[in-house]
């Protein structure tokens, strides 16, 4: 079956692109920070060290973005709870990421996310994925090859920090194509998507919730 990835992307975003020759297993050139202060955060800033999968610190780390206040304050889906869970599980418990969690499950990426040594996920929220349109979203969810490509474009095999946004460090995603973070004032963006709640730590990674689906570009 011919891939519909380009067709879905073009139909939704209105642009043509070529993703032939995408390779998996790309590595980020992002630097790994051992501490930072939160900017535009609803939580107090604190220094932290990258967390190993086997241990989660109870100290809350600084988040960025206006929508962090929409997360549960305690219990499942809260910042504190996600810090003790591997990335795939944490995403599945986040109330803003139910559509993404469904896509990750259909794509068979949960085990990879949970077992990765370090992973960063730029996570389109439910509104972003539903903005694709019900037909396009249904088509995408039904085509595993295209779904994996799209989701892996939202993943980087390193810890991406707010400092990488400020430095505009170009990242290499798991499909081998670049993603470009940037910071302007208190806004953090990757490509054209705004980070609504980011620097969310999981037991083995970091999540940045974004308001748009990222479309691969050369």
**Per-residue b or e along 25-46, where b marks 16 or more CB atoms closer than 10 Å to that residue's CB:** ebebebeebeebebbbbbeeee
Cα–Cα distance, 24 to 19 (Å, whole number):
12
The pLDDT score that the predictor gives to residue 216 is: 77
Q: Closest Cα to residue 158, out of 197, 205, 199?
A: 205
For position 143, which CATH number holds?
2.30.180.10
The pLDDT score that the predictor gives to residue 74 is: 94
DSSP state at residue 186: T
Residue numbers of the domain that contains 75: 5-210
Tell me if 165 is assigned to some domain.
Answer: yes
Strands (DSSP E) along the chain, which ranges? 119-124, 155-156, 171-172, 178-179, 181-184, 187-190, 193-201, 205-210
Tell me if 216 is assigned to some domain.
Answer: no
Tell me if 182 is assigned to some domain.
Answer: yes
In order along its 218 residues, the chain shows pLDDT tens digits of: 444 444 545 544 432 343 333 333 333 444 333 333 333 333 333 333 333 333 333 334 599 999 999 999 999 999 999 999 999 999 999 999 999 999 999 999 999 999 999 999 999 999 999 999 999 999 999 999 999 999 999 999 999 999 999 999 999 999 999 999 999 999 999 999 999 999 999 999 999 999 999 997 66
Tell me if 40 is assigned to some domain.
Answer: yes
Tell me if 181 is assigned to some domain.
Answer: yes
Tell me if 215 is assigned to some domain.
Answer: no
Total structural domains in the chain? Answer: 1
Q: What is the 3-state secondary structure (H, E, C) of 101-143?
A: HHHHHHHCCHHHHHHCCCEEEEEECHHHHHCCCHHHHHHHHHC
Tell me if 217 is assigned to some domain.
Answer: no
- Find the radius of gyration of the CA atoms of the chain: 16
Element at 13 (helix H, strand E): helix 5-13
Tell me if 73 is assigned to some domain.
Answer: yes
Cα–Cα distance, 110 to 87 (Å, whole number):
8
The pLDDT score that the predictor gives to residue 61 is: 58
């Amino acid at each position: 079956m011919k891939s519909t990835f380009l067709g879905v992307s073009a139909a939704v975003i209105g642009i043509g692109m070529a993703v032939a020759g995408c390779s998996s297993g790309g590595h980020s050139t992002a630097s790994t920070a051992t501490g930072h202060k939160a900017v535009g955060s609803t939580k107090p800033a604190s220094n932290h060290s990258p967390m190993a999968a086997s241990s989660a610190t109870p100290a809350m780390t600084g988040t960025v973005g206006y929508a962090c206040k929409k997360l549960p304050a305690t219990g499942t889906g809260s910042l504190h709870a996600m810090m003790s869970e591997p990335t795939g599980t944490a995403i599945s418990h986040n109330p803003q990421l139910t559509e993404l969690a469904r896509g990750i499950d259909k794509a068979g990426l949960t085990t990879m996310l949970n077992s990765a040594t370090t992973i960063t996920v730029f996570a389109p929220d439910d509104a972003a994925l539903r903005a694709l349109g019900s037909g396009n979203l249904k088509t995408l969810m039904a085509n595993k090859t295209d779904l994996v490509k799209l989701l892996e474009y939202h993943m980087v095999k390193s810890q991406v920090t707010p400092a990488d946004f400020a430095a505009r460090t170009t990242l290499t995603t798991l499909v081998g194509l670049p993603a470009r973070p940037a910071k302007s004032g208190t806004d953090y963006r990757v490509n054209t998507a705004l980070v609504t709640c980011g620097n969310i730590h999981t037991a083995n990674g970091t999540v940045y919730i974004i308001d748009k689906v990222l479309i691969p570009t050369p």
